[in-house]
Homo-oligomer: A and B are copies of this chain.
Amino acid sequence: MSTGVGGRRSQASVPDLVGRARAGEARAVARLISLVEDESPLLREVMAGLAPYTGNAQIVGITGPPGVGKSTSTNALVAALRAKDQRVGVLAVDPSSPFSGGALLGDRVRMQDHALDTEVYIRSMASRGHLGGLAWTTPQALRVLDAAGCDIVLIETVGVGQSEVEIAGLADTTLVLTAPGMGDGIQAAKAGILEIGDVFVVNKADRDGADQVRRDLRNMIALAERGEDAWRPPIVQTVAQTGQGVDEVVEKIEEHRAWMESTGELDRRRVRRARDEIEAIAVTALRRRWGNVHERTELDALAEKVVAGASDPYAAADSLLATYTD
């Protein structure tokens, strides 16, 4: 890409890093994600540099309750995708405690099967920024992996509850994993997974009850109202531990992409996602301006007026928005 820069990584320019990431250098990819995670002053330059190269990767969300085999399935999917010569990214997100600010599990030593494969990028991210959810930097990390030439990026959370819904919001295709003994169908429906699943996977299919889980899922999917041209989520049985059924999951992922492209759904999902991203960044920028913690701000003064009964929150919000134009 360039001479005399590769050996001094800390001084590498952003265009240089982007070029090296696109050429397949894992350290450059890692460095770019770190710049995103650390909210580096270079972040804007990084995102602008990556933009022209984004849009190729299919973002595949992997959700399911703890114990269903998400990590094992992710690992098996990477193997199946590599066998098809795909460049693969993996983003594993650990939700944080709202109080500690740290990750519950920390960086995991995992997926060692692929640690030496230069066509696989694996990254754990702590989620930060809002309660129990995904960090607002997560979509930017996905962009790095996309621009680095990944054909598929798998995004997986160790989380529970809402994080599944948030994962689906970031993905082009969402895999919902279940397994025998993971709770009944009504629970599944309550958690909203029927709405977010593009492909359902019944893992641990060698165990008793797998066929029942499949039947229950099929019935619930059949009940959901769908339009004529709608995607009908397939159900695949797997034993991720042995790789059984995983190639079929890959096929369904490919079929879903083809369907999305033919119907325009891919663009619709991506525009919706970009809207959310832009909005989140704009709101974060405004919040920082309003709530600078190092000095007494307009917001503090307004809050004190509200507490004193001299103003109300709506009038105060109007004032806050008015000062933004200064």
| Interface hub of A139, A287, A315 (most chain B Cβ within 10 A) | A315
| Interface hub of A47, A98, A314 (most chain B Cβ within 10 A) | A314
A162-B98 contact, Cβ under 8 Å, with A47-B314, A321-B282: yes
Is there a chain B Cβ closer than 8 Å to A86's Cβ? no
What's the dominant secondary structure at chain A's contact region?
A: helix
For window 136-192 of A, CB contacts with B under 8 Å fall at 139-140, 143, 161-162, 165-166, 190, 192
Which A residues fall within an 8 A CB radius of B? 43-44, 47-48, 50-55, 97-99, 131-133, 139-140, 143, 161-162, 165-166, 190, 192, 195, 267, 270-272, 274-275, 277-279, 281-283, 285-287, 290-291, 299-300, 302-304, 306-317, 320-321, 324-325
| Bound CA span A41–B104, Å | 44
Contact call B311/A51, Cβ cutoff below 8 A: yes
Contact call B317/A278, Cβ cutoff below 8 A: yes
A313-B281 contact, Cβ under 8 Å, with A131-B162, A192-B99, A274-B306: yes
| Bound CA span A190–B132, Å | 12
| Interface hub of A51, A290, A313 (most chain B Cβ within 10 A) | A313
Contacts of A140 in B (CB 8 A): 313
What is the total number of copies of this protein in its complex? Answer: 2
Contact call A51/B282, Cβ cutoff below 8 A: no
A314-B283 contact, Cβ under 8 Å, with A278-B320, A299-B278: no
A309-B53 contact, Cβ under 8 Å, with A99-B192, A190-B97: yes
| Bound CA span A272–B306, Å | 11
Q: A51-B310, A281-B314 are in contact. List 10 more A-B contacts (CB 8 A).
A: A47-B313, A51-B311, A54-B309, A132-B161, A267-B307, A271-B303, A274-B306, A274-B307, A275-B302, A286-B286
